[in-house]
Structure 1
Amino acid sequence: MFEEKLLEPHFTSVLAPYMLDVVEQKRALGNKYNAGVEALSAFDDFCNEQQLRIPAISKELLQKWEKKRPHENETTQCFRISYVRILCKYLHSNGYDAPCAFHPAPHVNKCFVPYIFTKDEIERLFSAVDCTKESSESPLRHLVMPVLFRLLYTCGLRVSEALHLKVADVDLDAGVLAIYGAKGDKERLVGISDSMLTYMKSYRSNPLVANAKSIYFFPAPDGGFYDTSTIYDIFRKCLFDAGIPHRGRGKGPRLHDLRHSFAVHILNKWSSEGKDIYTCLPILRTALGHDRITTTEKYLRLVPEAYMEVTEPFNERFHTITEVLCNEE
């Protein structure tokens, strides 16, 4: 059912033949490896910038590559490092100089506490997004942004997944999104709520959108897809207009926190309906596209005050135990 096009590698550095070998090996095992192609392409450009002349990766070169960049989050940093480490191991196994191939990767602090929007903040944010102005440079922006931001929240999408959605990937009759080439080259189907579906149908029926010459569901002014940085800039402005303060770098709210908020809010909803949360977790895992159920389980303990409704049903059950422990102390 899913036939995502493989990215064609275009490497030009002295390491190009070896990068191609790595990609071919991974694809021979059944992996699309599109994410690997993207990461290795960036490293290929880096090698050219560093004027690498021999097929070897020195400790100094690797340290420069692994260094955290301005405005780069820890996940992106780990992403860059991991794929080049695979290349290092390949070079080492073929007799080339890659002394750091099996050295421990640098420690990257990936611990963070996401910002969970309250329902009131979500409403205020959407109201601010609805005030997006039309401009001659971006004639569809005022139509795109209200739908895009609501889709990020109501379907728990990663922003890259939403921006790369094509018209052909959205089935408005069945109410289903087909997500291709997501994190880890995963593919999945995501259901759309009735209210969101109505919103999306209205958006697509607008003549300006319907007549846009683009394959993308959210077409940028050039007919391609929007850059994530553009969406983030709009997000920050809307936060300000909505009276939601930004707490500083690494503390949010981040654009990705709309996805986190979706997960926590849906857990709250299921709990209030009396559903067994752990029975429902596999459903949420599938919707979010997580590899492991343990990743989804983290939403149960990320921000305790944000999901009080989930833990409240257990308070009465363990109330007596809590009293005994308190008395013993």
Structure 2
Amino acid sequence: MFEEKLLEPHFTSVLAPYMLDVVEQKRALGNKYNAGVEALSAFDDFCNEQQLRIPAISKELLQKWEKKRPHENETTQCFRISYVRILCKYLHSNGYDAPCAFHPAPHVNRCFVPYIFTKDEIERLFSAVDCTKESSESPLRHLVMPVLFRLLYTCGLRVSEALHLKVADVDLDAGVLAIYGAKGDKERLVGISDSMLAYMKSYRSNPLVTNAKSIYFFPAPDGGFYDTSTIYDIFRKCLFDAGIPHRGRGKGPRLHDLRHSFAVHILNKWSSEGKDIYTCLPILRTALGHDRITTTEKYLRLVPEAYMEVTEPFNDRFHTITEVLCNEE
């Protein structure tokens, strides 16, 4: 199977040697650190633009870097700040000037109540996606989208994970997906349900898909992978066609809510089957690729009024778990 390659850093600023040291240290610990390379590369360009001449990060320089950019969301802002803070700590530990090394980084408030689709809404959404029209500019779009959206829901994938799937990552004989380069540079295996597997096999057997000259399972018109914004635009249109109202920016439904809905629906299914949900949580945690079991536990209190049969047996055990998901992607 294909393994995600390490990004090769090409730093050119006066801080380049120290950035390389940070990357090497992180990779020596087993981290791919590709996201760190991307963030530090952007900071490297910024340092060149600011004509930095000495290996030091002043408070003024850091404030310029941390300033929110037009159309930038809080998540992206904090993402690029966090990696530069790591560089600051490295410089400080090696005797260079980095006065803000241990100052608290801006905190993004990412506590929200996800939108949990009902089963009826899922069916209506899929029906709308199935009506995706063939396009001369995107000749495979009408074949890709019905499978992609179903895969996001039935396997609980992050949209980036699905879009970056390569043909070699999908074992249709064993019914397993190999997810590489996921959040935190992690890897995992995800099982595919029998019904979804049949859908994927039918998709891959289509001559238009089979003859596509691309390594990606969901090839974009240029042979690469689709941009997330393209998929989100199609998602919003399908929501409208399915009669599912969008509640406004930041309130959803979002594409990522298909993943949240998968988690809540599978917990509901296990509960109705009389399974011990607490012992099943590690299975869900592995499927979703969560770092901590506490992140997965939060689904137990996600929407108690709608899924009381799931949450009631655990009210005492998980009484401290909030009804919202924080910092989960």
Does the pair score TM above 0.5? Answer: yes
Segment drifting more, 152-161 vs 96-105: 96-105
Query: Per-residue CA shift, 1:11-60, capped at 9, x if unaligned?
Result: 23332222111101111222221221122223223334444443322223
- Give the SS at the match of 1:179: strand
Identify the range of structure 1 (153-162 vs 63-72) with the bigger mean alpha-carbon deviation: 63-72
Q: Which runs of 5+ in 1 are unaligned?
A: none
Structure 1's consecutive aligned runs of 4 or more residues displaced over 6 angstroms after TM superposition are 314-329
Contact 2:164 2:216 in 1 (8 A): yes
Q: How does 1:176-255 map to 2 (within 5 A)?
A: 176-255=176-255
CA distance in 1, matches of 2:69, 2:245: 25
Q: How far did residue 106 of structure 1 move?
A: 1.6
Distance 1:53 1:300, change over 3 A: same
Quickly say closer, same or farther: Cα 1:34–1:313, change in 2 above 3 A: same
Q: Is the 8 A contact 2:111 2:326 kept in 1?
A: no
* Conserved 8 A contact 1:116-1:306: no
Are the aligned partners of 2:281 and 2:297 in contact in 1 as well (CA < 8 Å)? yes
Structure 1 residues 124 and 191: alpha-carbon distance in aligned structure 2, compared to 1, 3 A threshold: same
CA shift in 2, pair 1:278/1:322, >3 Å: closer
Query: CA–CA distance in 2 between the matches of 1:317 and 1:198?
Result: 39
Name the SS for the 2:189 alignment partner.
strand
TM-score using structure 1 length:
0.91
Tell me how far apart the structure 2 counterparts of residues 141 and 311 of structure 1 sit (CA, whole Å). Answer: 40
Q: Identify the range of structure 1 (234-243 vs 281-290) with the bigger mean alpha-carbon deviation.
A: 234-243
In the other structure, the counterpart of 2:155 is 155
**Which protein has the bigger helix share?**
1
**C-alpha separation between the residues in 2 aligned to 1:76 and 1:176?**
31
1:71 deviation in Å? 5.0
- Structure 1 partner of 2:283: 283
Q: 1:160 to 1:194 in 2, by over 3 A?
A: same
Residues 29 and 315 (structure 1), Cα distance of their counterparts in 2 relative to 1, 3 Å cut: closer
Distance 2:316 2:4 in 1: 50
- How many equivalent residue pairs? 329
State the shift of 1:4 in Å. Answer: 3.1
Deviation at 1:74, TM superposition (A): 4.0
The question of whether the paired residues in 1 share the 8 Å contact of 2:218 and 2:225 is answered with yes
Tell me which residue corresponds to 1:166: 166
Q: Secondary structure at the match of 2:196?
A: helix
Q: Deviation string for 1:101-135 (max 9, x for gaps)?
A: 01111232121111111111111111111111111
- Aligned CA distance change for structure 1 residues 93 and 198 (closer, same or farther; 3 Å): same
Distance 1:141 1:49, change over 3 A: farther
Structure 2 alignment gaps of length 5 or more:
none
Contact 2:65 2:81 survives alignment (8 Å): yes
Cα displacement (A) at 1:213? 0.4
Q: TM-score, normalised by structure 2?
A: 0.91
SS in 2 for 1:6: coil
Cα distance, 1:101–1:148 mapped onto 2, change above 3 Å: same
| Pairing 1:29-48 to 2, within 5 Å after superposition | 29-48=29-48
Asked if structure 2 preserves the Cα contact closer than 8 Å seen for 1:143 and 1:203, the reply is yes
User: CA contact under 8 A between 1:137 and 1:221: conserved in structure 2?
Assistant: yes
Q: Distance in 1 between matches of 2:96 and 2:113?
A: 42
- RMSD in angstroms over aligned alpha carbons? 5.6
Partner Cα separation in structure 1 for residue 63 and residue 12 of structure 2: 22
Structure 1 position 317, deviation (Å):
13
Query: What residue number does 1:19 align with?
Result: 19
Change (3 A) 1:69 1:208: same
Choose 251-260 or 25-34, whichever is displaced more: 25-34
- 8 Å Cα contact 2:111/2:327 also seen in 1: no
CA, structure 1 residues 271+64, in 2 after alignment: closer, same or farther (shift >3 Å)? farther
User: 1:125-136 counterparts in 2 under 5 A?
Assistant: 125-136=125-136
Fraction of identical pairs, as percent: 99
Tell whether the 8 Å contact from 1:265 to 1:307 is kept in structure 2 after alignment. Answer: no
SS of residue in 2 equivalent to 1:246: coil
Please give the alpha-carbon distance, in whole angstroms, between the structure 1 residues aligned to 2:138 and 2:323.
61
CA separation of 1:120/1:50 partners in 2, compared to 1, >3 Å: closer, same or farther?
A: farther
Deviations 1:220-245 (A, max 9, x none): 11111111111111111111111111
Q: Equivalents in 2 of 1:324, 1:127: separation in Å?
A: 29
Please tell me whether the aligned partners of residues 2 and 187 of structure 1 are also in contact (alpha carbons under 8 angstroms).
no
Deviates more, 1:92-101 or 1:184-193: 92-101
Q: Answer yes or no: is the 8 Å Cα contact 1:165–1:218 preserved in 2.
A: yes
Contact preservation (8 Å) 2:301, 2:321: no
Deviations 1:157-206 (A, max 9, x none): 00110011000000000000000010111100000000000000000000
Contact residue 11 and residue 41 of structure 2 kept, 8 A: yes
